[in-house]
């Protein structure tokens, strides 16, 4: 399965939508590395996982800065989701094998976590995007 920022996932905010594309690209690369068994002594999978984790942190920080700047009413709920998401992603990535392919369970867990992000984008981020547009932030 390939993850993409389709029209139903567009928030209307160029920064958020652009960063979502990068997140999905990184998630796809990690899943491709899992599927291809390209583990190169653990480096390809681990490096891709580290990039994904760091980019999630950066993206969530950017979203939260926008929310603070525009006094988003759902800020606390959004931050709680972000913190929980980052912790679970970190737990998943801590389970990456140092060599050899990842387990089916780990791949499944990562896919489910990506779906959780998609649900977040379809609900919370789209509401945020509409709010930001109403305040002239595109």
pLDDT digits (tens, 9 = 90+) for 87-125: 999 999 898 877 777 888 988 898 899 999 999 999 999
Asked whether 64 and 75 are in contact (CB, 8 A), the reply is yes
Q: Considering just the CA atoms, what is the radius of gyration of the chain in Å?
A: 16
| Packed helices 43-69 and 14-36: angle between N→C axes, nearest 10 degrees | 160
Whole-model pTM: value is 0.89
DSSP one-letter code for 41? G
Superfamily of domain 7-134: Hemerythrin-like (1.20.120.50)
Q: How do the domains of the chain map onto residue ranges? A: 7-134
Span 58-91, pLDDT tens digits: 999 999 999 999 999 999 999 999 999 999 999 9
Determine if residue 4 is left, alpha or beta; phi over 0 gives left, psi from -120 to 50 gives alpha, anything else beta: beta
Span 4-62, pLDDT tens digits: 999 989 999 999 999 999 999 998 888 887 777 655 544 577 788 889 999 999 999 99
């Amino acid at each position: 399965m390939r993850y993409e920022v389709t029209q139903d996932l567009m928030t209307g905010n160029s920064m958020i939508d652009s960063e979502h594309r990068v997140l999905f690209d990184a998630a796809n690369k990690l899943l491709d590395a899992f599927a291809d068994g390209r583990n190169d002594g653990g480096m390809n999978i681990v490096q891709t996982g580290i990039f994904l984790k760091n980019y999630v942190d950066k993206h969530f920080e950017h979203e939260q800065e926008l929310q603070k700047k525009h006094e988003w009413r759902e800020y606390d709920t959004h931050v709680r989701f972000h913190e929980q998401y980052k912790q679970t992603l970190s737990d998943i990535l801590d389970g990456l094998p140092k060599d050899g392919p990842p387990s089916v369970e780990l791949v499944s867990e990562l896919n489910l976590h990506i779906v959780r992000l998609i649900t977040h984008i379809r609900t919370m981020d789209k509401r945020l995007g509409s709010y930001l547009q109403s305040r002239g932030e595109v």
